[in-house]
Amino acid sequence: MFLRIYPMIGKRVQFHDETWQELRLLAAESMKSFQELADEAFNDLLKKHSRPASLKEALRKSAGQTAKVIPLKKRRAPKGRP
């Protein structure tokens, strides 16, 4: 299976000095990068407004509440291979 790598979109944002200092402190205390904090914040914002944060969530939302999830059967390993 091949995964497509899409370029990440960047956007410059500005913070008040106090806010930036608190974000840096939070990142250090939680051992997360600023990017990880930003991803978490934007995912929370999307959930708050009932917007899907991923393709998987968008597909589930578009299928509706009545869509039945059918799990795939696990494949057996071919004989002679561990």
CA distance 50 to 47: 5
Burial 10-44 (b: 16+ CB within 10 A, else e): eeeeeeeeeeeeeeeeebeeeeeeeeeeeeeeeee
- pLDDT of amino acid 78: 73
Alpha helices in the chain (DSSP H): 17-30, 34-48, 55-63
pLDDT of residue 81: 59
Q: What is the mean pLDDT of the chain?
A: 83
Q: Which residue has the tokens 């959930």?
A: 47
Quick one: average pLDDT of 3-25?
87
Global pTM? Answer: 0.59
More confident residue, 64 or 30: 30
